[in-house]
Chain A
Amino acid sequence: MPKSLRTFIEDCQRELPGEVIHVTKEVNPANYDVTAIIKYLGAQKRFPIIIFDKPLNLNGKVGPIKLTMNCEISQGKTQIALGMSRTATRPEMAERCLEMEEHRVPPTIVSKKDAPVKENTMVGKDVDLYEIPIMRHHEMDGGPYIVLSTITRDKKSGIYNCSYHRMEVKSKNMTALYASPRHLWRIYRDYESRNEEMPVATVLGHHPAFHMGACYSGPFEVSEYDVIGGYLGEPLRLVPSETFGDDLLIPADAEIVIEGVLIPNKRVVEGPFGEAPGYLGPQRYTTCAEYQVRAINYRNGAMYQSVITPEGDKPWMDLPREGAYLRRCREAVPGVTAVCKQGRHAHYNVFISMKKMSEGDPGRAAAAALTFDHTKNVFVFDDDIDVFNPTDILWAIATRVQPHRQVSILQPLFRGNFLDPSLVDEIKTSGMIVDATRPLDRPFSPVSKCPDEAMARIKLEDYVPGEVLQHIPMDRTTYWA
């Protein structure tokens, strides 16, 4: 059976049975009901996949489309999605992502009758986005928002690009799509230069491996359907779109796919929107295109999928980028062992660990990390520091850094990220490199530790038996241990 959101949820039900729950009571996603439920659970560090069986759609009715949340959160779910060992560490997972991106798998094309997404279609005047239970995510959001992957195709090369773009639902057949100036915007500007409409499709529900492939941040020339195939470990099944036929192929096993066009030379006001860094992204228009919806395809019993940021750890968004950072930093310094850029740092902070071979290695690795759009502050550590552990990070900064020697403030020469609320320029950002590695050119006090011999000789069970140990509460209030 081809991989889909449904096969993923079945896998999670089998391997993590407590992590899939249904909410059978009616909820109104456009009135923040779903946001509140997820915030309450998140405050308890609980991030189950939640299937809302009776969400109100934007017409205010319970329709046939359900709402699914939290598929993107937690390392365990991502290990299941990618078929990895449940004991894989985060750096190992990032390495695996690199392998999957390198072993790309071309897609395959199926007929409409073999494409579940074609079980139902709305076209022309029947198109109604309001039939979908689309959320308002945060207070002050400009409207209901769709936040998953949008697909387009470069007219010259024929390559497919898949990327995340927020879009505000403006009417039953129109959204305002906000694009940062990367690949999709480049393709759109090319269409715009010819005053042509750009065909697009947006996937509102698929297997997490699909969405992880859509986070690929490699060269423009790579067709991202192939990368998604690498993540899935099987060819992505595609079907001709309702509107554009073979000229724009869409995922056959998606839950919902909307199709439409970006109108050339027209900008639309959208926002504010509660964005990934955890702040309201102000209302804007300069890179916001009008997205006219021409068709909606959906499976029987479709599940609309959404994401709330910055709630929880989102490996499906961070891991592909961690892999990309790892690749680039290693090109500069082979001794780089791990790169962390997860969570609320929102890509602005990057933490690198390395086996330092020479003074200057940390600066080279940091410079490589700074070539990515979002990077602002780079912290470099020795490989004994777990860069996924905030306690380790703060300890090393406290004990291995003399600020006047090891902190470098960089002038605002870098293209920053529009979503960074600290920017004082429209787009440019300054930067900081913190070299928290121990020096090689002078003695440095060793880390205190229990001798390895004693750790090997002493068995905790001999002194604190399991039946005693199990009743000792874990101290979850001590964050700084």
Chain B
Amino acid sequence: MGQAVEVTCPTCKKIFVVNPHMLGSGMDFHCPFCNLYFPEKDSPKIRK
């Protein structure tokens, strides 16, 4: 885990944390608030 990266959900706009190794992995993020699975490119904001 170590560092947390903040990801904004494209649908509900809420922010959640992912491990840096998720970035560029090709794995979809999972929004814990609205249950959306989405690719990295769809997030309106990723704060490292």
Chain A: residues with CB nearer than 8 A to chain B? 140-143, 267, 269, 271-272, 280-286, 416, 418-421, 423-427
Contacts and interface: CB of A to CB of B under 8 A. Distances in A.
Contact of A418 (B1, B28, B30): B1
B33 to A, nearest CB: 8
A421 B32 contact: no
A281 B18 CA distance: 8
B24 interface: no
Interface residues of B, number: 20
A421 B5 CA distance: 11
6 contacts: A140-B16, A140-B17, A269-B22, A269-B28, A283-B30, A424-B2
Contacts, number: 69
A426 B20 contact: yes
B13 interface: no
A288 to B, nearest CB: 10
A141 B33 CA distance: 8
Interface of B: 1-5, 16-22, 25, 27-30, 32-33, 37
A280 B30 contact: no
B30 A269 contact: yes
Contacts of A140: 16-17, 32-33
B32 A284 contact: no
Given A142-B32, A269-B27, A269-B30, A423 B2 contact: yes
B32 A426 contact: no
B23 to A, nearest CB: 11
A283 B21 contact: no
B38 to A, nearest CB: 11
B5 to A, nearest CB: 7
Contacts of B19: 271, 282-284, 286
Contacts of A419: 1
Given A140-B16, A140-B17, A285 B32 contact: no
Nearest to B21: A286
A423 B27 contact: no
Contacts of B32: 140-143, 272, 283
A279 B29 CA distance: 19
B32 to A, nearest CB: 5
